Structure 1
Amino acid sequence: MAFYTSLSGLQASQTDMATISHNLANVATNGFKKSRTEFADVIASNLTSSPTSAVGSGVLVKGNIQQFSQGNLVQSANGLDLAISGDGFFAVKPNPDAAQVDYTRNGAFSVNADNEVVDSNGGRLQVYPVDGSGAVVATGIESTVSLRLPATSGTAVPTTAVNYSLNLSSSAGLPSGGAFSRFDPSTYNNSTSTTVYDTSGNPLTMTTYFRRETTPDAAGNTNWSAYSFIGDQAVTVGGADHTTLTFNSSGQLTAGGSSTSDPVTPSGSTGAQTITLSYGSATTQLASPFNVASRSQNGAAIGQLQGVTVDAKGLVKASYSNGDVQNLGMVAIANFSNPAGLRQLGSGYWAQTGLSGAPVAGQAGSNGAGSLMSGTLEQSNVDITEELVNLIAAQRNFQANSKALDTDNQISQTIINLRS
């Protein structure tokens, strides 16, 4: 009987060392939760025997109990690195086509080729759907959806109007280079550029060249020509390659303040567009140098994804190059009445069981869930010093039981020798 008592001690010590080794192996695993081996003594007795006659018969491993204490929180440069300070788990879906939802504390998320927010295992982060204002429109784990970041936002708006307010210097002379050529700066006085958009929302550069054509006539009027190009494509008005701006003796614009181009298809574009060129009342011909006070246009590109933020409540927002901001979802936080009852699946995942209870779904800061921190990761809750001390103790326990087994063997051998 003593052999089996010592053997149970050896087996229990081996289990304890395996648990401690597992903890130490995962000291650098984000979101990892250490375990502790629980033991119970074994007594050889029955209901009718005297309490004083009970004899100890070894030890029994009752199980490995997970310890869900908080791990250290460290900052990172990735806005999709998320950490829960307090209770709760992220909900992830390993298979987008299945109903199964797993739970994790490892919030190291990134974006995959399909623009889905996933963890290192490919599990898709689950969020509650929200409306345009960011309010949650459906709750419960069964209502969550996988978080996807749209690559674009909005629709392309081709430019149909360009507005300038500028000053053409009355001191400027007539160009000396002959007929206008945009490649020869001696054939024009000044130029300015602005970005416009074609029918597909592609940005293009529109450049307008200003050329003084006359000195003041008897009435004090002066004419300037304005030549516009989108890339290499000339913008014509009524078949003419330029428009004429006329200023009176006071430097005020009296003619040519607005004109609509002929349909133009910029190089590389797929559709034609017309553009109204307008020079506001602030456009003048004064003695001061050439100056563009303002320029504007009414086109817009399709917005390209520029960044993602997650606030303290878990609201995910995407920002785009055209200024759009979209509310994409609210990070789902699941809590359990008995986290120690969760089944470990490996890869930092847990699954609910009857012991853990059903998930209590909510969001950061509600229903007992902890707060959410973006740009932060939770480290393992393993304390290396503590585990090394535990490992030494487990090793000593193993050695002691091994010595007891050896002693039992010597006693048995002595008895055998006596009988022989």
Structure 2
Amino acid sequence: MSFYTSLSGLQAAQTDLSTISHNLANVSTNGFKKSRSEFADVMASNFTSDPRRMVGSGAVLQQNRQQFSEGSLLTTGNSLDLTVAGDGFFAVRMPNAVGTQAYTRNGSFSVDPNRFITDSQGSRLQAYAVETDGTVPANSAVGDVRIPLNSGEAVATGSVTLQMKLNAAATQIAGNFNAADASTYNTATSSSIIDAAGNTTTLTNYFVKDAPNDPSGATSWTMYSYAAGAPLNNGNGTKVTFDGDGNMTAPIGAFALSTTPAGTAGAAQQTISLDLTGSTAAKQPFAVVSRSQDGRAKGEFSGVAVDESGIITASYSNGDSVKLGKVALANFVNPTGLKQNGGNYWTTTGLSGQATMGTSNENGFGKLMSGTIEGSNVDITEELVNLIAAQRNFQANSKALDTASQISQTIFNIRA
């Protein structure tokens, strides 16, 4: 009988060694939770047995208990690196199992080519749908998070304001203006505008001083306007004049730059109103004081962020910010009953119970942190000490088995 008792001890020590080895192998695995082998003694008895004379029959594995203490936190600066500080798991939908939901503590997410928020294995982060103000509607279900490629509708530029300081001491330019020849104009300035097709193009204004310096200080200029490289107003210039004090006398108020060519072939044309009010002329280098335009480009996706409440917000090139969802967190009555699936995933079992879903900072759920990753909760020093203890346990049971073998051999060697 002692053979089987020692054998059970060897098996227990070997199981303990395997558990410790698994913990050490995952010391650098993000979101990994260590396990601890727990054993129970085996007693063979019945109702007639005298409890004072019972002898145990070895050890048996009672459970491989997962330890859900929090791992170390690493700051990454990546907005989609998430950590649950406290209780809770991220819910993800596994890619190769339709409808199968898994749970993980590894919050390393990114945007895949299809603009879904996924982990390194392609599983999609689950989140609650939200209203435009970020509130979660009643009875909102969790689902995938997909980032729209664009935001808003393009608005073609209707008016441009340009305030500048022209150099009154500039020399007169003789000859015909040619936008391709810098010697035929004194200075130029460009403004980005939105064409009728919603594309960003460039409005460039060239200034040619067309009168000699007046004793009074008055100056006269001709402004030639081009959009998308094509002349406006059939190439005719606009007279811009200043009095002796450098104040603009013409044009007064806004004026039209008609039939602006669209930046995209076949698209509708547009007319722009240009206002130079506030521009001056002085004996100093040319400078732009201010410029603005009322067009609005269609926003292109530029980034995504998650705040501590779990709101996922996408940013766009036109300044839009769109709230896409609120990260769903899961919790369980008995997390140690979850089934380890590998790949940092857990799934539910009858022991764990079904997931209770919620969000960051709710009762029973941890606080979400962005820009950090939770590492493994394995303590190397502790595991190495446990490894030594498991090794000694194995050696002790081996010695007990060897001793039982020697006693048996002694009995076999007894001769009459």
Fold-level similarity (TM above 0.5): yes
Q: Deviations over 1:19-38 (max 9, x none)?
A: 11111111110110011111
* 1:246–1:256 contact (8 Å) kept in structure 2: no
Q: Which moved more, 1:376-385 or 1:293-302?
A: 293-302
* 1:312–1:373 contact (8 Å) kept in structure 2: yes
* 1:45–1:55 contact (8 Å) kept in structure 2: no
Alignment of 1:285-364 (within 5 A): 285=281, 290-364=286-360
Residue 204 of structure 1 is matched in structure 2 by 201
Deviation at 1:154, TM superposition (A): 1.7
Residue 44 of structure 2 is matched in structure 1 by 44
* 2:227–2:261 contact (8 Å) kept in structure 1: no
Residue 367 of structure 2 is matched in structure 1 by 371
Task: Give, in whole Å, the separation in 1 of the partners of 2:285 and 2:58.
Answer: 100
The aligned amino acid for 2:310 is: G
- Structure 1 unaligned residues grouped into runs of 5+: none
1:272 aligns with 2:268: yes
Deviation at 1:216, TM superposition (A): 8.9
The aligned amino acid for 2:318 is: N
* 2:309–2:367 contact (8 Å) kept in structure 1: yes
Residue 249 of structure 2 is matched in structure 1 by 253
1:413 aligns with 2:409: yes
Gap change, CA 1:206 and 1:416, over 3 Å in 2: same
Residue 236 of structure 2 is matched in structure 1 by 241
Task: Give, in whole Å, the separation in 1 of the partners of 2:12 and 2:138.
Answer: 48
3-state SS of 1:208 partner? strand
- Structure 2 unaligned residues grouped into runs of 5+: none
Task: Give, in whole Å, the separation in 1 of the partners of 2:265 and 2:190.
Answer: 19
Residue 181 of structure 1 is matched in structure 2 by 178
Alignment of 1:12-411 (within 5 A): 12-95=12-95, 98-138=98-138, 143-176=141-174, 178-214=175-211, 223-235=220-232, 237=233, 239-247=234-242, 251-255=247-251, 257-266=253-262, 268-285=264-281, 290-411=286-407
Deviation at 1:64, TM superposition (A): 0.3
Task: Give, in whole Å, the separation in 1 of the partners of 2:97 and 2:400.
Answer: 56
* 1:89–1:104 contact (8 Å) kept in structure 2: yes
Task: Give, in whole Å, the separation in 2 of the partners of 1:362 and 1:204.
Answer: 47
Deviation at 1:87, TM superposition (A): 0.7
Fraction of identical pairs, as percent: 51
3-state SS of 1:403 partner? helix
3-state SS of 2:297 partner? coil
The aligned amino acid for 2:357 is: A
* 2:228–2:261 contact (8 Å) kept in structure 1: no
TM-score after normalising by structure 2: 0.92
Gap change, CA 1:36 and 1:6, over 3 Å in 2: same
Gap change, CA 1:211 and 1:256, over 3 Å in 2: farther
Deviation at 1:253, TM superposition (A): 2.6
3-state SS of 2:260 partner? coil
Aligned length: 415
Gap change, CA 1:289 and 1:17, over 3 Å in 2: closer
Gap change, CA 1:16 and 1:240, over 3 Å in 2: closer
The aligned amino acid for 2:22 is: H
Task: Give, in whole Å, the separation in 2 of the partners of 1:228 and 1:97.
Answer: 60
Gap change, CA 1:255 and 1:365, over 3 Å in 2: closer
TM-score after normalising by structure 1: 0.91
Q: Which moved more, 1:184-193 or 1:324-333?
A: 184-193
* 1:247–1:255 contact (8 Å) kept in structure 2: no
